[in-house]
């Protein structure tokens, strides 16, 4: 049994009165420690897959098991707890909170776990050191370059040490040199044991992955 199991997962959207399938009968197994690249043209269902795995969007049919838990059967706010404990999101457009400093942005996921504020700070500084941004921790996001902002986003995804990192086009808004740097960082994290699932258009990035899942019209192309 893998870390992540998609069992006959489908997701439909209503669009102009028509039912459109974003994912069709998806079966997928991902082992712990894998680095997966999800590729495919726009509208092929890549982001839908990531959202469903990230506990953000319910599938229409099927089940997803993570670490043996059927996540969409979790009651009440347990799904939010699942996101907090298992998932670190890295978004294409960084999604940093503009009015919080770099350090505060990284500490954000820790704000809702019971621990001492000093410990929170220490954990955040540690991951900022990992992405080599510790010295800029007091700045606001708009005072950083795109590559630096993406590194902050990665640090934030890592700070509570989730087993799974979900990255949605992590280099989409970056120049190729910075993009490579970010891919190197993700690869490094993966080698340290984190499972990375990355959505990308870029075949260059896909080379960092152990396995490529090719999607077309919501179906896996083996």
Enumerate binding residues for other proteins (CB under 8 A): 51, 54, 56-57, 77, 80-85, 87, 89, 91, 95, 97-100, 103-104, 107-112, 117, 120-121, 124, 156
Pick 197 or 206: Cβ nearer other proteins: 197
CA count, 13 A, side-chain hemisphere, 77: 2
Cα–Cα nearest to 131, from 97, 169, 182:
182
Characterize the bridge pairing of strands 164-168 and 195-199: parallel
> Do 84 and 109 form a contact (C-beta atoms < 8 A)?
yes
Pick 94 or 206: Cβ nearer other proteins: 94
Coil, strand, or helix at residue 88? strand
C-alpha distances out from residue 71 to 77, 79, 180, 196, Å = 11, 7, 33, 18
Taking the complex as a whole, how short is the minimal distance between the CB of residue 42 and other proteins, in angstroms? Answer: 14
Taking the complex as a whole, how short is the minimal distance between the CB of residue 4 and other proteins, in angstroms? Answer: 17
Reading the block at residue 101, the tokens are 């400093």
Taking the complex as a whole, how short is the minimal distance between the CB of residue 117 and other proteins, in angstroms? Answer: 7
Pick 75 or 222: Cβ nearer other proteins: 75
Pick 28 or 103: Cβ nearer other proteins: 103
Cα–Cα nearest to 23, from 40, 35, 37, 36:
40
> Do 24 and 218 form a contact (C-beta atoms < 8 A)?
yes
Taking the complex as a whole, how short is the minimal distance between the CB of residue 158 and other proteins, in angstroms? Answer: 12
Taking the complex as a whole, how short is the minimal distance between the CB of residue 123 and other proteins, in angstroms? Answer: 10
Pick 107 or 182: Cβ nearer other proteins: 107
């Amino acid at each position: 049994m893998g870390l992540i199991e998609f069992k006959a997962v489908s997701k439909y959207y209503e669009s102009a009165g028509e039912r459109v399938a974003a994912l069709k009968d998806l079966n997928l197994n991902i082992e712990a420690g894998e680095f997966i690249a999800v590729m495919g043209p726009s509208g092929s269902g890549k982001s839908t897959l990531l959202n469903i795995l990230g506990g953000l969007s319910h599938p229409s049919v099927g089940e997803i098991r993570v670490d043996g838990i059927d996540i969409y059967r979790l009651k009440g706010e347990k799904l939010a707890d699942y996101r907090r404990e298992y998932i670190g999101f890295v978004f294409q457009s960084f999604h940093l909170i503009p009015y919080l400093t770099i350090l505060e942005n990284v500490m954000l996921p820790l704000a809702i776990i019971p621990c001492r504020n000093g410990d929170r700070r220490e954990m955040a500084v540690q991951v900022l050191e990992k992405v080599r941004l510790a010295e800029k921790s007091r700045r606001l996001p708009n005072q950083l370059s795109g590559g630096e902002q993406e590194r902050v986003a990665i640090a934030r995804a890592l700070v509570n040490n989730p087993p799974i990192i979900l990255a949605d086009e992590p280099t989409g808004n970056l120049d190729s040199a910075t993009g490579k740097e970010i891919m190197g960082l993700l690869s490094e994290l993966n080698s340290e044991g984190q499972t990375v699932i990355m959505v990308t258009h870029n075949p260059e990035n896909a080379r960092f992955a152990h396995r490529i899942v090719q999607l077309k019209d919501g179906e896996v192309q083996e």
